[in-house]
Amino acid sequence: MLYDAQLVQQTLPQCPQIKLWLLDPIPMQRAFSAEEVESIETYPAYWAMCWASGQILARHVSANPDIVAGKRVLDFGSGSGVVAIAAALAGATEVVALDQDADALLACQANAQLNHVELNTTSKLLEFETPFDLLLVADVLYDRDNLSLLDQFLGMATNVLLADSRVHNFQHPHYVLMNTEESATHPDLDEANDFRRVRIYRSEQSPLEGLR
């Protein structure tokens, strides 16, 4: 743990209608000891940041509410909950935030409360027997080893909407690249330009309403 790390309410630059409890960047502008670096690597609190793909997917959902309105939505690998919150604000009838990290689920609930919406949270995907109407996925394809998840996603929901800035131009017969947008993790981690380029894909199982 970092002795001076703290969360503060922050408004997202590309989704100003959403507020999140995120890592205060000011105390982090210092050199870290070897022990602190090891602590960060052992437990990266990814839910304390809004990653570029999450912010772009949340903005996309907010700008196209018909995508989620009246639907059951699952946010896979929810992290801070930004995408799930965007779906709830846009009129989804049910939103479930799924993450394996218990702290991430606490962050989702705290951030949902901050934005005056309700989310269900879980770490167990198998408890859902009925597929969702829409699966939202952001910042889950850390590397090509995770590409096998693409097939699993197709069985979880009627439609899939996915944003990623890490794995470039993957080829899959059931996913189509919709567009590419520029963003950055917030607070800004000064990442390489490649990681600031977010690609949004949709599944081709059936057309997503409002995206054709």
Using DSSP's 3-state secondary structure scheme, residue 8 falls into strand
Instruction: Report pLDDT for 70.
Output: 97
- Which residue in 209, 211, 186 sits closest to 196, CA to CA? 186
Instruction: Report pLDDT for 208.
Output: 46
**Structure-token pair, residue 177:** 């690249």
Query: Which of residues 68 and 126 earns the better pLDDT score?
Result: 68
Question: Is 201 in contact with 176 (CB distance < 8 Å)?
Answer: yes
Q: How far apart are the first and last CA of the chain?
A: 46
pLDDT of residue 29 exceeding 90: no
pLDDT of residue 193 exceeding 50: yes
Percent over 90 (pLDDT), the chain: 59
Instruction: Report pLDDT for 81.
Output: 98
Instruction: List, in order, residues 6 or more apart from 200 with CB less than 8 Å away.
Output: 56, 57, 60, 161, 162, 163, 177, 178, 179, 180, 181
Instruction: Report pLDDT for 166.
Output: 82
Task: Give the pTM.
Answer: 0.87
| Domain ranges across the chain | 7-203
pLDDT bucket at 182, cuts 50 / 70 / 90: very high
pLDDT in tens, 146-178: 888 999 999 899 999 999 998 877 788 999 999
Instruction: List, in order, residues 6 or more apart from 21 with CB less than 8 Å away.
Output: 7, 8, 9, 10, 48, 80, 107, 110, 111, 114
pLDDT in tens, 7-23: 899 999 999 999 999 98
Question: Is 202 in contact with 161 (CB distance < 8 Å)?
Answer: yes
- Which residue in 22, 65, 27, 26 sits closest to 46, CA to CA? 22
Instruction: Report pLDDT for 34.
Output: 64
pLDDT in tens, 86-133: 999 999 999 999 999 999 999 999 999 999 999 999 998 766 778 899
d(Cα 135, Cα 95) in Å, to the nearest integer?
A: 10
Ramachandran assignment for 139, one of left (phi > 0), alpha (psi -120 to 50 degrees), beta (any other): left
Instruction: Report pLDDT for 207.
Output: 45
Q: Say which residue the tokens 């989310």 belong to.
A: 119
Q: What is the mean pLDDT of the chain?
A: 85
Per-residue buried b or exposed e for 57-92, using 16+ beta carbons within 10 Å of the residue's own CB: bbbbbbebbebbeebbbbbbbbbbbbbbbbbbbbeb
Percent over 70 (pLDDT), the chain: 81
Instruction: Report pLDDT for 1.
Output: 56
CATH topology of domain 7-203: Rossmann fold (3.40.50)
Query: Which of residues 124 and 28 earns the better pLDDT score?
Result: 124
Sign, Cα dihedral of 94, 100, 102, 105: negative
The 3-class SS string of 161-206 reads EEEECCCCCCCCCCEEEEEEEECCCECCCCCCHHHHEEEEEEECCC
Instruction: Report pLDDT for 42.
Output: 58
pLDDT of residue 26 exceeding 80: no
